[in-house]
Amino acid sequence: MLLGLSIGAFLLYLAHAFGLARFYALAVLTLLAGAAASLGSAACFLTLGVGALISGWLTLWRYLKSTRPLAGS
Protein backbone atom coordinates (compact mmCIF):
# COMPACT_ATOMS: atom_id res chain seq x y z
CA MET A 1 0.00 0.00 0.00
CA LEU A 2 2.83 2.37 0.86
CA LEU A 3 4.45 1.67 -2.50
CA GLY A 4 1.35 2.70 -4.44
CA LEU A 5 0.88 5.79 -2.31
CA SER A 6 4.46 6.97 -2.70
CA ILE A 7 4.57 6.39 -6.48
CA GLY A 8 1.11 7.94 -6.86
CA ALA A 9 2.15 11.00 -4.88
CA PHE A 10 5.27 11.38 -7.03
CA LEU A 11 3.20 11.13 -10.21
CA LEU A 12 0.81 13.76 -8.85
CA TYR A 13 3.78 16.03 -8.22
CA LEU A 14 5.09 15.50 -11.77
CA ALA A 15 1.64 16.11 -13.24
CA HIS A 16 1.31 19.36 -11.34
CA ALA A 17 4.89 20.54 -11.93
CA PHE A 18 4.95 19.88 -15.67
CA GLY A 19 1.26 20.20 -16.49
CA LEU A 20 0.97 16.67 -17.91
CA ALA A 21 -2.66 15.61 -17.72
CA ARG A 22 -1.94 11.95 -18.43
CA PHE A 23 0.16 11.72 -15.27
CA TYR A 24 -2.93 12.56 -13.21
CA ALA A 25 -4.62 9.46 -14.64
CA LEU A 26 -1.51 7.37 -13.96
CA ALA A 27 -1.38 8.67 -10.39
CA VAL A 28 -4.99 7.70 -9.74
CA LEU A 29 -4.44 4.30 -11.31
CA THR A 30 -1.34 3.71 -9.18
CA LEU A 31 -3.08 4.88 -6.02
CA LEU A 32 -5.96 2.48 -6.65
CA ALA A 33 -3.60 -0.41 -7.36
CA GLY A 34 -1.60 0.41 -4.24
CA ALA A 35 -4.76 0.60 -2.15
CA ALA A 36 -5.57 -2.99 -3.08
CA ALA A 37 -2.84 -4.25 -0.75
CA SER A 38 -3.73 -7.89 -1.29
CA LEU A 39 -2.44 -7.69 -4.87
CA GLY A 40 1.17 -7.16 -3.84
CA SER A 41 3.86 -4.99 -5.33
CA ALA A 42 4.12 -6.99 -8.56
CA ALA A 43 0.51 -6.22 -9.46
CA CYS A 44 1.03 -2.57 -8.55
CA PHE A 45 4.03 -2.30 -10.87
CA LEU A 46 2.19 -4.22 -13.58
CA THR A 47 -0.76 -1.84 -13.37
CA LEU A 48 1.55 1.17 -13.48
CA GLY A 49 3.46 -0.24 -16.45
CA VAL A 50 0.35 -1.08 -18.47
CA GLY A 51 -1.12 2.33 -17.71
CA ALA A 52 2.10 4.07 -18.78
CA LEU A 53 2.19 2.06 -22.01
CA ILE A 54 -1.42 2.86 -22.87
CA SER A 55 -1.17 6.57 -22.05
CA GLY A 56 2.15 6.86 -23.90
CA TRP A 57 0.70 5.13 -26.94
CA LEU A 58 -2.31 7.45 -26.95
CA THR A 59 -0.06 10.50 -26.64
CA LEU A 60 2.13 9.33 -29.53
CA TRP A 61 -0.93 8.54 -31.64
CA ARG A 62 -2.35 12.03 -31.06
CA TYR A 63 0.99 13.62 -31.88
CA LEU A 64 1.45 11.67 -35.10
CA LYS A 65 -2.12 12.43 -36.10
CA SER A 66 -1.71 16.18 -35.60
CA THR A 67 1.69 16.68 -37.28
CA ARG A 68 2.99 16.24 -40.81
CA PRO A 69 6.42 15.00 -41.93
CA LEU A 70 8.97 17.48 -43.27
CA ALA A 71 8.77 18.26 -46.97
CA GLY A 72 12.19 16.73 -47.73
CA SER A 73 11.56 13.49 -45.84
| C-beta of residue 30 within 8 angstroms of C-beta of residue 44 | yes
The Cα-based distances of 73 to 3, 28, 46 in angstroms read: 45, 40, 38
Task: Look at 41 and 56; give whichever has higher pLDDT.
Answer: 56
pTM, to two decimals: 0.70
pLDDT tens sequence across 53-73? 999 999 999 999 999 888 776
